[in-house]
Structure 1
Amino acid sequence: MHKVAVFYGKQLANYGFDPPHPFGRDRLDAFWRYFVSKGYDKLVKIEEPIMASDELILQFHDKEYLEFVKKASSLGYGYLDYGDTPAYKGVYEASAYVVGTSLKALDLAVNGYHTFNPIGGLHHARRDRAGGFCVFNDIGVLIESARNAYNIKRIAYVDIDAHHGDGVFYEYVGDKDVIIADIHEDPNYLYPGTGFEYEEGEGEAKGTKMNICMKPNADEEEFIKAFDKAKEFIDNSKPELIIFQCGADCLKGDPITHLAYTEKAHYYASKELHKLAHKHNAKIIALGGGGYNRNNIARAWLEVVKGLLYI
């Protein structure tokens, strides 16, 4: 059994939106209740959230955008994008806690833990704007912090959320040292409508990006075939850090997507990435991402933790 740290705390649960928004503030507790009921809280180190400073957030985000979020957070109304991501009083602080917690996950990973931030993985936010329920892109800040604080050069980002991680993919599309494998629902059927298989990176980064598009109703057998391609791609890149966005919205029964995996997909992906991390002496961080069926969240994320604990 390996050392695993899982994050839980009120400040992390505060990230979310009022009903009937699918990304509610009950998501973390839906996972945690199930996690504790199965006794896994006794097998991991439980860590509290921490808030990121503006200086850390600005490693990835534009200053003008940061100030826009702060102002909207103070006013407490309106939208941070074109209608998916509402502002509310305290949204800046809640978002900064998600980022800070993912950075704390990095610190712990460098010190020998495999880590899981259930509310991390906000993969739609761009440097200068919000998108798809995501205010700050904790993944982008995490990538920049890994470079700046720890001199980590080869970073692999693996995303199995039903939605394409456009905020990571296009911000690093020309960066040869960020290797991306993103398995998502066919963009012809689902937001954000990006992530086609012909997109493989640009310029010197050509060939360092992989999109795999899954048809609606694809099951975990089809997922495992796709994931094995992604795994080989990541293996060949010899990463120093693996960031795993393990969105649970690809499970059957999610209210806003159309895939049909079971939680076995998440165990398989987590376990196989865990093996790769040991093969390459790499750090591994898992981030919860999307998922809007609370039972699916609970089951899928528990399987992710199992995959980090055991290989």
Structure 2
Amino acid sequence: MLGYGLLGDLLSYDFEFTEILVPPQVTFGGDEVKCRFFFEGSVLKEYYVVICIASSELAEPTFKESLPLIDSVELERSVIIKRLTFTDIESTYNKINDQSPPPSSLVLYDPTQKKIDTLKLETYSLSLTPDITLTLEQRYLPDKKGGTDLGFGASVYPCSVVLSLYIYDHIYQGSFLELGSGPGLISCVCKVKGFRGWCTDGDSGSCELSRINLNKLEEGEEVIVEKYLWGEEIDKYVEYVFMSDVVARPYVEDLPKLINTLKELFKINPELKVLFSYKNRGGGEETFWRMAGEWKVERVEEYWIRSEWRKEGIEVWRITTK
């Protein structure tokens, strides 16, 4: 699978020169001009260079000098993403890393290649940066429930990837509670970020899988895995609640219990922020919106979400008190 890391908010997956206007509240400095590598496993598939223009000229001429292959355009508060040729990739990669990877590892992405069903793989890998890759164990079964008793909690789904990357790039500190962890990708990202918290799921198999994947991480703060069913008593003080793919038809009958859990958590911490990702899977979200009417529910800006995921309808939403 393709992984990606920093500046995910600026990624465009088009194969031509692309310009993205940055929202007014976002500012960039020269040290935020970065390079982006895209790996499939250990193979470099694509290389992009991102130039952040804070004013009418590049803020960091030394960086420009180190990457002479980049085309730049003087546009105020804009971001230019340039896809490089194979030769440019090899040359610039070697400059940045001061090493020469084997030529066979420099393979450009082929958009015609067959898409792999990652849900059925034994492991799922996500590159947060060129130096940080998470590899999670999966236990998919063709039992119409995806391998767990409660259903669909044994594999990493795209919605959890999107929310994980949002957390990695946009949230810098805080305690957390994950509801419906599945194999635990979001909690693994939180641990890598140094967050303390709880990884919970109502399925014993998912909890076991989350525990295995969290224990693989040698560094990071403590993340406790607990079996928790929505609606049960809860007394945890956290700053964030993270949920992925829980607002969906398979779980619609349990949404009132989920709402009750969130109510209890808001009582404990009125400043709580709930972030959840989902894609429309048959109307469950409409039921959730109605039940969540007492809170402020707003969609997080989409500009940072990869275009192919936007086309799938994956969104990230935020819940806070009004």
The TM-score bracket by the shorter chain reads: 0.3 to 0.5
Answer 1 or 2: higher relative contact order, Cα 8 Å, separation at least 6.
1
The higher radius of gyration belongs to 2
The answer to which structure has the higher helix fraction is: 1
TM-score, normalised to structure 1's length? Answer: 0.34
TM-score, normalised to structure 2's length? Answer: 0.33
The answer to which structure has the higher strand fraction is: 2
